[in-house]
Amino acid sequence: MARALTENETAVLAHVVHRPVLWWEIANEANLNMTAEEALAAKVAKYQAEYDAAKGEPGYQTRLERDIADPAMEGINSEEDT
């Protein structure tokens, strides 16, 4: 069983993927060319600065919230649609 994501890992992942915990579960089950921990570390490292800059902005939204609010993202009206 995979360890729980930290609060920061969850927040950074939520900035770029719809469902951070599901992403983590899949990473742990997938046959990757790196470990799930390496994949997580790489994704967090790649997006940490972008997330840090964005989270302080008024009206910050996670990736899912942004996609739900985007009329061009047809079919995503709520979390249940992801």
The pLDDT tens digits for 3-47 are: 999 999 999 999 999 999 999 999 999 988 899 999 999 999 999
By the 8 A CB rule, do 40 and 27 touch?
yes
Question: Measured between alpha carbons, how far is 24 from 41 in angstroms, rounded to an integer?
Answer: 11
Q: Residue for token digits 């990473």?
A: 27
Contacts of residue 47, defined as CB under 8 A and 6 or more positions apart, other chains included, come to 12, 15, 16
Contacts of residue 80, defined as CB under 8 A and 6 or more positions apart, other chains included, come to none
pLDDT digits (tens, 9 = 90+) for 62-78: 999 999 998 888 777 66
Q: Residue for token digits 């940490």?
A: 48
